[in-house]
Amino acid sequence: AQASITKVLENQIPFIFLTNGGGYPEKEKMRHINERLGMNLDHERLIQCHTPLRDWHHLKDQVVLVSGNREIYQVPLEYGFTHAISTGEVITAHPMAWPFDSVHKTMQLDESRKHNSHILDFDPAKVAAVCVLNDGLCWGSELQIMIDALLYGVKQPGYNHPLFVLTNPDLIWTTAFERPRFAQGIYSGIVMDTYQRLTGQPLHAVEFGKPTKATFDYAETVLLNEARKLNYDGGIDEIYMIGDNPAGDIVGGNNQGWNTILLKTGVYQDEMDPKNPTVILENVQQAIDWILDRHPL
């Protein structure tokens, strides 16, 4: 990957990283990527599943409940959501809210969070939005807290419940295990199904992540900003989406009118529907070479 990215940089081609991963502020996530690649790339070219929430200024002074890893509260705080709290923090502060075992009951609040009134005096009736930003650390206990907020929280205009935001619709992803594993979309689906079973009404979700139009529109804006840094005065004529997930990368790119390159290095397996990519290639290196062959510089 490093050689391919270096080739793109040397040819002054604007590019971004668009991932359905998340769980960390962009600066921190980009630091991890740079350490793996041995490079020094700017975090502004990184779009995670929850990055578009940076522009949700209308919720930044309201109580927002987020679910994800133990430090997930750092993401909305980075975006300016000053009253964001996490499901895990609520369980730590209120262990009786979930009458079964939970890893959150064995943990302490971070020092900077020990006097947070929204955590210590948690009231689901004050929650304006529930956001799944990453896979939960303890699905069962966090589901309970989210449902409490969705049932009793602040009803938002146009909805009969607080806003529910899911940021990654992927159902599966590839790990070191021999078969694909559940991804965040399964987790969000459980929340939606549970809400409907309890109320008889659908839980309306605001969706981000690939293949949603909201995320691809955001990505195109960021890509154009990267192009301007390279003095692309006339804009961009063609955009190429490179990815290994037909349902996310290829569907999203095709819907946006981009060229799409499906790789055989991750989620995609030969028995899957490839979702009509422009081309199927083995790896990123082949993809970059194929693009450069189409556009001699």
CB 113 within 8 A of CB 148: no
Query: What is the pLDDT at residue 219?
Result: 98
Query: What is the pLDDT at residue 169?
Result: 94
CB 128 within 8 A of CB 164: no
Query: What is the pLDDT at residue 297?
Result: 75
- If you search the block for the tokens 């062959």, which residue do you land on? 293
| Sign, CA torsion 62/67/73/74 | negative
DSSP state of 97: G
Q: What is the pTM of this model?
A: 0.94
Query: What is the pLDDT at residue 140?
Result: 96
Q: How far is CA 268 from the centre of its chain?
A: 20
Buried b (16+ CB within 10 A) or exposed e, 150-173: beebbebeeeebbbbbbbbbbbeb
CB 6 within 8 A of CB 288: no
CB 282 within 8 A of CB 265: yes
pLDDT tens for each residue of the chain, 297 residues long: 899 999 999 999 999 999 999 999 999 999 999 999 999 999 999 999 999 999 999 999 999 999 999 999 999 999 999 999 999 999 999 999 999 999 999 999 999 999 999 999 999 999 999 999 999 999 999 999 999 999 999 999 999 999 999 999 999 888 999 888 999 999 999 999 999 999 999 999 999 999 999 999 999 999 999 999 999 977 789 999 999 999 999 999 999 999 999 999 988 988 999 999 999 999 999 999 999 999 987
Alpha carbon distance 12, 5 (integer Å): 11
CA-wise closest residue to 80 among 98, 57, 102: 57
Nearest 5°: CA angle at 55, between 53 and 56? 70
Query: What is the pLDDT at residue 233?
Result: 79
- If you search the block for the tokens 């450069």, which residue do you land on? 292
Sheet holding 240-243, edge to edge: 240-243, 259-263, 279-281
